[in-house]
Amino acid sequence: MGKELAEEYSVARETFAEADEALGYKLSQLCFEGPEEELRLTEITQPAILTASAAAWRVLREKGVNPSFVAGHSLGEYSANVAAGTLSFPDAVRTVRNRGKYMQEAVPVGVGAMAAILGMDLQKVTAVCADASHGEVCEPANINSTEQIVISGHADAVERATKLASERGAKRAIILPVSAPFHCSLMKPAQDRLAGDLQSLGFQKPGVPIVCNVDAASIEDGDRARDALIRQVTGAVKWDQLVRLLIARGIQTFVEVGPGKVLSGLMRQIDRSKTSLNVGDQASLQKTLEQLSVQRA
């Protein structure tokens, strides 16, 4: 993860070195060599993804790519804040390490669960969650597109909701292999702990507007950016609404920065007419730069 860009570009290498120093261990080695089991631990996964994303972003910036807006899905909102200059990279990488730890510790393993509901609109999913809760927590957590909504809460309630969703016409309802029930009210202990960390950090005015998950709204103020990062721990990721806001503001080209192409996949569900590019390694970087160059010409 990030190894090719680090080998090719000094700014990417420096980003991984900065993360190693901020965290006090060789995150770079885990990203480049594994083992995968260790990378899957939430408190390592989160800084690893942030670092790989920040490294790719800095390479893009060196190549003259300047966004009109920045946004990120859940953890990705930290990368967006780094890109906007709201939050320093060392502060961000230390914060997300703690964020992963707090989220993991908020709910004992096995108590919570998450499930993907496919082919059912938000109103119906919300009704399914309410009817399946039986006094427990069951809430929409990631509104990824009109076709894909992830729910989160107590394991039994989520299990009941998947059965109910299938009965009420969902195309599929699948329990996800996650370590905790993210983006629901069960994460309140993690949110409270993270709030203390974020309140102690200096947030600057963003150099470019950030569109936040929790409100699907554009932010141009450091205090609001901090508040959005706090509230997103228990709040739903409104990705579908966020992308539609950007499209309404005239955005035609989206660049997914960092490992994977999940957001590009969601873009096909939200609006296939928009251009979606990604940068995670040397090949995808070159392809994206070429396509951006053609658009500018």
The Cα 151–Cα 42 span in angstroms is 19
Q: Which two tokens stand for residue 71?
A: 């946004």
Amino acid at 286: Q
Whether the CB-CB separation of 185 and 140 falls below 8 Å is answered with no
Residues 6+ apart with CB under 8 A from 260: 278, 280
The candidate with the shortest Cα–Cα distance to 89, out of 47, 28, 59, 60, is 47
Q: Which two tokens stand for residue 150?
A: 């992830």
Q: Which two tokens stand for residue 98?
A: 């703690």
Q: Which two tokens stand for residue 270?
A: 């939200």
Burial class of residue 253 (count of CB atoms within 10 Å of its CB; 0-12, 13-18, 19+): middle
Expressed in percent and rounded to 5, the helix, strand and coil fractions of the chain are 55, 15, 30
74 is catalytic: yes
Catalytic residue among 79, 154, 183, 284: 183
- As annotated, the active-site residues are 74, 183
